[in-house]
Amino acid sequence: MTEVRYADFETTTALQTSRRMRRGGPPLDASATTKENASVTTTTVRLIDSEEANTIRRAGRQLLRVPKMPVRLIPQVAQGLNAGEGQAWGIAAVGAGQLGLAGEGVCVAVLDTGIDPKHPAFDGLISERNYKDFTGTGLVDSVGHGTHCAGIIFGRTVNDERIGLATGVTSVLIGKIADRNFTTTTDQLQQALNWAVNSGADVISLSVGLDFLGHASALRDAGLPQDAALVAALNDYRDYTRFFDRLIGQVVSAGAASRSALVVAAAGNDSHGDSQPPYRIGATLPAVAEKVLSVGAVSKGVGDLFDLAPFSNTGVDLCAPGVAIRSALPGGRYGAMTGTSQAAPHVAALATLWWQKVRNDRATRPDPDYVRSMMLGAAMPKRISGEHGFEEIGGGLAQAPV
């Protein structure tokens, strides 16, 4: 049966002094700032067992049921479209590198399979201070997925080969939440999200999804009849969605001095838009959570157009390059991968550029919701060929600020 805990959200308010930057960018010294007092509301979440939950409920407080469910790394798609070693063609496709923005001063978290800290593309960026393992399998990327995604976001140019969109990022957080022989659960996902936000992340990139079918299968293996297992899995999914929406609301919450971040997630690769008949599958959590930027994938098309990838799930906010994308691999290597897992870090990198622009323009720390709205408003639906509804392409092809 499903292991269940309960979420207790506690809210506190305190007066906090912050420093506001003068217009024109980060201050060079203390004289370039002005002090402001603000009332800051902070919400923390505790996961508790049923015994403590019963005590709290008797006191009249409401709690959310939090079932423990499996989370899977979104599987890669076989190199069938634009196959080969690939290129970092997404950089030009989304217009990165304009306005002289490169992500300076923005903190980016990648929650994935880890990273190869010795890869030349990450020279000087990774140490034990900003690399945390939530799996117990060690600070090594045995899959290569996390290294590849990180390279798309902030990988450095090596031997004149550019792979990263936001090459000026110097503040990074790497959370290892998945591995080849490790079953990731919602526990690791929640812990990593909290760690990233509390460590100062402005943008968080995720390429994992809740494994509903795997959860239903486990319930059947535990002795439930098939129909009962499906109903139980649906109930668990519903309850976890309620909790995760509340958790993300906490993560993205804005405030003058509160910690908050823009969360970007891959929509998934379960669709078959090229089959007969064609069909597309809806995205799962965390991509479908409220205020999360859900990302679909496109491939290179004809001329200046791009084609919606046949594997890309629906329920997206934006689309980005995700087919035969060249980036870093463990062991100092480079290679191509395909999937919405490659599209999501493109959008995460663009989010850092937008974050930097908004911060510079408004001379204050950006509100994640505002950055999200700016990105949605700048997207280009007409750059994607064919006729597609909003569920399939969202606002369209994500773009860098201009």
The answer to whether the CB of 77 falls within 8 A of the CB of 298 is no
pLDDT of residue 8: 85
The answer to whether the CB of 339 falls within 8 A of the CB of 316 is no
pLDDT of residue 181: 80
Domains within the chain, CATH numbers bracketed: 69-393 (3.40.50.200)
17-68 pLDDT per residue, tens: 554 544 444 443 333 444 455 555 556 678 888 888 888 888 888 899 999 8
Encode burial over 222-247: b for 16+ CB neighbours within 10 A, e otherwise: eebeeeebbebbeebbebbbebbbbb
The answer to whether the CB of 199 falls within 8 A of the CB of 172 is no
Intervals of the chain under pLDDT 70 = 11-44, 79-86, 253-258
Amino acid identity at 270: D
pLDDT of residue 319: 98
Q: Measured over all CA atoms, what is the biggest interatomic distance in the chain, rounded to whole angstroms? A: 69
Q: Give catalytic residue positions.
A: 112, 145, 341
The CA-based dihedral angle spanning residues 6, 9, 10, 16, taken in that order and rounded to the nearest 10 degrees: 150
What is the reported pTM? 0.88
